[in-house]
Amino acid sequence: MLALLNKAASQLQTHRHAEAERTYRQVQAIDPGNPEPDWNLALLYMLTGNFEVGWAMREARWKKANPGVYPKFSVPRWFGEGDIEGKTIVICADEGLGDTIQFVRYVPMVASLGARVILVVDPPAHALLSGTPGIAQCLRKDLGVSVPFDLHCPMSGLPLAFGTRLDTIPPGAAYLPPLPEGRMRAWEDRLGPRSRLRVGLVWSGNPAHSNDHNRSTSLRTFSRIFDLDATFVSLQKDPRPEDRATLIEHPKVLDPTADLTDFVETAALISCLNVVVTVDTSVAHLAAALGRPTWILLPYDPDYRWLLGRDDSPWYSSARLFRQNEKRDYTLVLDRVRGELERLIAARRQPEAIP
């Protein structure tokens, strides 16, 4: 069984998607109670745009040995059915911070059905999302839910509840709560005159992520763009030792990350930048959800949400996707990014350019 699952994974990584589907179906036939092929088929269907099947099959995650940290609520789960007007529903984060930012767009839609919504999120997202339109309360997940409620729904279950298809994804631009004006002004003052293009940078994600070795790169790889006439601003929290050394080698890169105490502060800084260049991390979701131009660097075998063969995203209208080719080399991706940055810098030099 393990051999077949490994075979399917290899087929996925080399973009032989039809073969991978057949292999996973073979595993299902041999071991119908195994959630692993169901889960991986769900991701495959999502990756190829078959949301109708994919969202439902993603429910296999609850049968996996480690489905994620989600409270065991005693009330029923809401799947989008029935009249919920007047009822209190807890919508609780169940995956990563990027997923929370991506799917919080659905929360006002639940409130519009007449429900009293209690939003429960991980501590780093609490300040950012406390002002989400339509919610009655925003709680920290680590503190638990002590108020009475009638229903619950995991946040990543909301697309299933609303029957989301590719053509019905809720708008993905500037849907986060307004940011404090004072924080944005403080960053604007700190960055100084807008005489050069301001470029935010994130080159790696959480090393504990299962696909981090593919999605992340190094600051040294990013350094091939540092000679451009732009202001580069690190948004990279907790850089790895080799990246700290590279930061010292490149004093041109501003590093204010010690002052990025929460997502609100990071969002305020992002709001003052012209473009954010980032690998697939929570900052990619944050910048794009703010409606800021966000250039996302993707591995050859990307996460399901970025789909295949396109340089835009139906989830975020301000996002551009820069994909690895079969060589799986981020230096080639950064060369393309460099060309696009050169184009932006040249456009700013035109007399009619907007500062």
pLDDT for 351 equals 61
Q: Which CATH number covers residue 51?
A: 1.25.40.10
Please give the Cα distance from 228 to 231 (Å, whole number).
9
Tokens of 103: 């799917």
Please give the Cα distance from 91 to 84 (Å, whole number).
13
Please give the Cα distance from 209 to 25 (Å, whole number).
27
Given 15, 47, 63, the domain boundary residue is 63
Cα-Cα end-to-end distance for the chain? 59
Amino acid found at 74 = S
Whether residue 76 lies inside any domain: the answer is: no
Alpha helices of the chain — where are they, by DSSP H?
2-13, 17-30, 35-47, 51-57, 97-103, 107-111, 123-129, 158-161, 181-191, 212-215, 219-222, 241-249, 263-270, 282-289, 330-348
Given 168, 202, 225, the domain boundary residue is 168
Please give the Cα distance from 6 to 342 (Å, whole number).
42
Please give the Cα distance from 14 to 7 (Å, whole number).
11
pLDDT for 199 equals 98
Whether residue 295 lies inside any domain: the answer is: yes
Both 163 and 280 in one domain: the answer is no
Given 144, 168, 192, the domain boundary residue is 168
Please give the Cα distance from 60 to 42 (Å, whole number).
8
Whether residue 340 lies inside any domain: the answer is: yes
pLDDT for 355 equals 46
Both 234 and 263 in one domain: the answer is yes
**Block mean pLDDT (10 aa), the chain, length 355:** 90 94 94 93 97 95 76 96 97 96 98 98 97 97 94 98 97 92 98 96 88 92 97 96 95 96 97 98 97 98 96 98 97 98 93 52
- Tracing tokens 């993707």 back to the chain, one arrives at 298
Both 290 and 229 in one domain: the answer is yes
Tokens of 281: 């991390």
Both 189 and 329 in one domain: the answer is yes
Q: Which of 170, 152, 134 is nearest to 91 (CA)?
A: 152
Whether residue 31 lies inside any domain: the answer is: yes
Both 105 and 59 in one domain: the answer is no
Whether residue 82 lies inside any domain: the answer is: no
Per-residue burial over 16-38, b = 16 or more CB atoms within 10 Å of its CB, e = otherwise? eeeebbebbeebeeeeeebbbbb
Both 104 and 185 in one domain: the answer is no
Q: What are phi and psi of 321, to 5 degrees?
A: -105, 125
Both 216 and 263 in one domain: the answer is yes
Q: Which CATH number covers residue 319?
A: 3.40.50.2000
Whether residue 103 lies inside any domain: the answer is: yes
Both 216 and 337 in one domain: the answer is yes
Whether residue 77 lies inside any domain: the answer is: no
pLDDT for 64 equals 80
Residue-number span of the structural domain to which 47 is assigned: 2-63
Both 233 and 267 in one domain: the answer is yes
pLDDT for 66 equals 60
Q: Which of 146, 169, 161 is nearest to 77 (CA)?
A: 161
Both 228 and 342 in one domain: the answer is yes
Amino acid found at 143 = L
The number of beta carbons lying within 10 Å of the beta carbon of residue 100 is 25
pLDDT for 36 equals 93
Q: Are residues 252 and 196 in contact, defined by beta-carbon separation less than 8 angstroms?
A: no
Spell out the residues 6+ positions from residue 287 whose beta carbon is closer than 8 angstroms to its own.
Answer: 200, 270, 276, 278, 294
Whether residue 69 lies inside any domain: the answer is: no
Total number of residues shown for the chain: 355
Instruction: Name the domain count of the chain.
Output: 3
Both 288 and 232 in one domain: the answer is yes
Q: Which of 322, 264, 312, 311 is nearest to 290 (CA)?
A: 264
User: For the packed helices 2-13 and 17-30, what is the interaxial angle rounded to 10 degrees?
Assistant: 160
pLDDT for 206 equals 83
Both 213 and 318 in one domain: the answer is yes
Please give the Cα distance from 226 to 82 (Å, whole number).
55
Q: SS3 of 114, please?
A: coil
pLDDT for 172 equals 87
Please give the Cα distance from 303 to 178 (Å, whole number).
29
